Amino acid sequence: MVNDQIVNGFMTLEQHISSLAKAAVQALYGVEATDGQIQLQKTRPEFEGNITLVVFPFVKLARKAPAQVATEIGEWLKANGEGLVDKFNAVQGFLNLSISDAFWIEQLKAIDADANYGRFNRPDNTPAPCGEGRGGVSPLMMVEYSSPNTNKPLHLGHVRNNLLGYSIAKIQEANGWKVVKTNIVNDRGIHICKSMLAWLKFGNGETPESSGKKGDHLIGDYYVRFDKEYKAQVAELMAAGKDEETAKREAPLMLEAQEMLRKWEANDPEVRALWAKMNEWVYAGFDETYKRMGVSFDKIYYESNTYLEGKSEVEKGLVSGAFYRREDGSVWADLTKDGLDEKLLLRSDGTSVYMTQDIGTAKLRFQDYPIDKMVYVVGNEQEYHFKVLSILLDRLGFPFGKELVHFSYGMVELPNGKMKSREGTVVDADDLMDKMISDAKEIYLQKSVSPKDGLSSVSDSGQSGAADPMNEIARKVGLGALKYFILKVDPRKNMLFNPAESIDFNGNTGPFIQYTYARIQSVLRKSVSPKDGLSSVSDSGLSAEGGLDAKELALIQCLCEYPTVVRTAGEEFSPAILCNYAYALACDFNSFYHDLSILNEPDEQKKTLRLLLSANVAKILNSAFGLLGIEMPERM
């Protein structure tokens, strides 16, 4: 139960009922109820009511039957709740409360008054809902996502990672956390050397400028080329009588790549210069993709800067006895007492592995920031890795070791199987965004559009770089379809990506919700003069006189659930919860729009109410999509 008020004094229905229920228990039974004893839930559809109070926790205190306790509390709430409870019914130990229309009207006004509705922002003199941080007023959460390798461009798997990480960061900010969005770029290692070696051998000096390719795509091509040539060498050695493992180990290209890695770690000037040049090409390509995807970072770490810190900590672990060295010189951690196996930390040639880098990165991050919660957004294929990392950091004496959070999400699968970067069988992120935008534009061109209020009247004033209104809307719709399709799936589950389903304008899709938002904007534009603008929709004089239609009430109730939805999405680290909410709200609005007149409503009070409802639905849809990293088109 969140007891802190949202900015401008707005309180959720749950907060109101919780406060009154405590007062009722105190008045009726002389007992001070705790937050844990106040159990509220949405009233089941087969019963009349809006919210249900579970009274079983008070039965022993009252020494009465559950139904009697529910009735007594219901009567007290109706008599002392200042008109909040209109009526009630008791079903055994469940008290179903029907909330007055006057309360819902006031809730609607509160939404309209608060531009940050749904954000649990902390006034300076009250504690944040997520607690106090060790580094200041609000607690600090670091969210790591993306983590690309500089040997290939971003692909569909990275898209899910980036969208999840960015949305989780936005949702946690809405819940009062100070968030640092961070990225660790894996810019060293054998995989990087493979691309470098292939470029040296087969590149003929090709550059992004000479080829017309983005730098990350160019380097990715050489990573694929290395694998092709390496497999050919392995096949030759096997044909000459070598077994497969020996052939893989003795293939000349692999031996050269391993030698290049040793030179890199020895700071060989030629290898380092080539590495720096090729990485710069990749970084430029990444930046372009990130910007287009709409994600960003507050701090970027590079493995090339953190792995030495990790090696230093491993050496300390050797001295302390936390780790041990084998005869070949490699360094290992024995985790068998923790129910795991043995983990390599340094190879026999002294080169480091991913785990070494992550130890160093974690140390540096906690030196740089007063982190209260560290969240790694990494696929479920790495669950073992993060179990080991947590144990190793704890073994090295870092107090934050056991507190690390691995946000483990499912893989993105394709109809024809998993993606493989080495073989070039990936869905490239840039190509995917191009395709989504192109499909959105094609679908739009097939639809009939009103010349008065459609795409032809969209102004692109203030839109930097927008070629034309059609392209800008197609960009928002196409990327919105992609983001929503990925984020609406429970993040912990594997998902099958289907672009055709994601771009549909019907059903649980991003374009459907964007269209609902644009429809509302059209209604609001028609309701006011161009001079006054949309802000002229006012709630002055609005009251509950005449009562609320069932569709109106359903919309207000859904709107009032938004703060709770934002809180739950933060607690569960699940943007899918926001997606499901936005879809339900859009469906409720379209049902309302279909059944009730807005602009042609003769009763001015009703017309004002419905315009205000429409405006607030648009506001909340826009807010929810903002937390998902999705832009809303004003016209469609």
537 three-class SS: coil
- The per-residue pLDDT for 125 is 36
pLDDT tens, residue by residue, 338-347 = 999 999 999 9
Query: Over 80: is that where the pLDDT of 394 sits?
Result: yes
Confidence band, pLDDT 50/70/90 cuts, at residue 421: very low
Confidence band, pLDDT 50/70/90 cuts, at residue 137: low
- The per-residue pLDDT for 402 is 87
Confidence band, pLDDT 50/70/90 cuts, at residue 447: low
Helix (H) or strand (E) holding 375: strand 373-379
Query: Over 50: is that where the pLDDT of 599 sits?
Result: yes
Q: Which pTM was predicted?
A: 0.87
Q: What is the mean pLDDT of the chain?
A: 87
Nearest to 404 by CA among 187, 146, 162, 144: 144
Among the ranges given (256-260, 460-464, 526-530), the one the predictor scored with the smallest mean pLDDT: 460-464
Query: Over 90: is that where the pLDDT of 511 sits?
Result: yes
CATH fold group of domain 7-99: Gyrase A; domain 2 (3.30.1360)
Q: Give the C-alpha separation, 188 to 310, whole Å.
A: 14
Among the ranges given (40-44, 247-251, 419-423, 427-431), the one the predictor scored with the smallest mean pLDDT: 419-423
Give me the residue spans of the domains in the chain.
7-99, 140-186+302-427, 188-297, 429-627
- The per-residue pLDDT for 351 is 81
List strand residue ranges (DSSP E) for 279-388, in order. 299-302, 324-325, 331-334, 342-346, 373-379
Query: Over 90: is that where the pLDDT of 618 sits?
Result: yes
If you count them, how many residues does the chain have?
Answer: 636
- The per-residue pLDDT for 134 is 65
- The per-residue pLDDT for 450 is 42
What SS3 string covers 205-222? CCCHHHHCCCHHHHHHHH
Confidence band, pLDDT 50/70/90 cuts, at residue 501: confident
Amino acid at 620: I
Query: Over 90: is that where the pLDDT of 171 sits?
Result: yes
Query: Over 60: is that where the pLDDT of 451 sits?
Result: no
Q: Does domain 140-186+302-427 sit in CATH 3.40.50.11890?
A: no
Query: Over 80: is that where the pLDDT of 261 sits?
Result: yes
Check: CB of residue 363 under 8 Å from CB of residue 398. yes
- The per-residue pLDDT for 573 is 96
Are the folds of 140-186+302-427 and 429-627 the same? no
For the segment 531-559, the average pLDDT, to the nearest whole number, is: 74
- The per-residue pLDDT for 469 is 85
Among the ranges given (276-280, 354-358, 494-498, 612-616), the one the predictor scored with the smallest mean pLDDT: 494-498
- The per-residue pLDDT for 437 is 94
Query: Over 90: is that where the pLDDT of 474 sits?
Result: yes
- The per-residue pLDDT for 446 is 76
- The per-residue pLDDT for 176 is 93
pLDDT tens, residue by residue, 520-543 = 999 999 987 544 444 456 666 677
CATH fold group of domain 429-627: Isoleucyl-tRNA Synthetase; Domain 1 (1.10.730)
117 three-class SS: coil
